[in-house]
A and B are shown apart, each in its own frame.
Chain A
């Protein structure tokens, strides 16, 4: 099975920071990669699909890039409401998730 590895597992950030989260696949998944945001006590929410396509309604400060095995999620200027855990997921079978990256206030 294809394994998804995110880094870092946690990140201390400040409002206004540019934040980059990395997701690596154990073999090429082209650009079959989604990103989700999960706030405490809430269901996950789709942010990015197909590695770089912004889901409708998601703020433009979120962006995704990459293809093959290496992907990034970037938040251009962190807002307080962005404090959450972020997960990547391969949309290629068997659709495994990364272990998550938790953003915490510095």
Chain B
């Protein structure tokens, strides 16, 4: 069965960087992409971008493109999302999701989420 398992909760100071991992299993990793979504406490879902696990091409949302880097490691079926220059309003749960391109970008399986707290 398809599973995405994310790394554990993080506490960071303002200005620091965070690196969240997302380990995939149960499918051919390079046949899909991985997308990332941010959800601030009590708020809605915010699209951050996605990466093709096949070629490593990335597509970042405008709000994040200056601060985010998404990568994949095919040898371990793991995707990573680095967010730099953290601010207090980056406190959120970050989700990874498998990207299926059956019809546009479809997030068909999700990780459990990683809580990132930014506090001095």
Interface of A toward B, CB cutoff 8 Å: 1, 31-32, 34, 36, 38, 43-46, 49-50, 53, 55, 85, 87, 89-100
The residue that A43 contacts in the complex, of B61, B102, B106, B113, with Cβ under 8 A, is B113
* Distance A98 CA – B47 CA, assembled complex (angstroms): 10
Chain B nearest CB: distance from A41 CB in Å?
9
Chain B nearest CB: distance from A55 CB in Å?
7
* Residues from chain A with Cβ under 8 Å of B44 in the complex: 85, 87, 97-100
* Residues from chain A with Cβ under 8 Å of B107 in the complex: 34, 36, 44, 46, 89
Q: Which of the four size classes fits the interface of chain B?
A: 20 to 34
Contact (Cβ within 8 A) B104 A32: yes
Contact (Cβ within 8 A) B102 A45: no
Contact (Cβ within 8 A) B45 A100: yes
Chain B nearest CB: distance from A23 CB in Å?
13
Contact (Cβ within 8 A) A87 B105: no
Interface of B toward A, CB cutoff 8 Å: 35, 37, 44-47, 50, 59, 61-62, 95, 97, 102-113
* Residues from chain B with Cβ under 8 Å of A90 in the complex: 104
Q: Do most interface residues of chain A lie in helix, strand or loop, or is the interface mixed?
A: loop
Contact (Cβ within 8 A) B104 A94: no
Contact (Cβ within 8 A) B47 A91: no
Contact (Cβ within 8 A) A92 B104: yes
Contact (Cβ within 8 A) B45 A94: no
Q: 13 A-B Cβ contacts within 8 A?
A: A31-B103, A34-B104, A34-B107, A44-B97, A44-B107, A44-B110, A50-B104, A91-B103, A91-B105, A95-B35, A95-B104, A97-B37, A100-B44
* Residues from chain B with Cβ under 8 Å of A1 in the complex: 62
Chain A nearest CB: distance from B111 CB in Å?
7
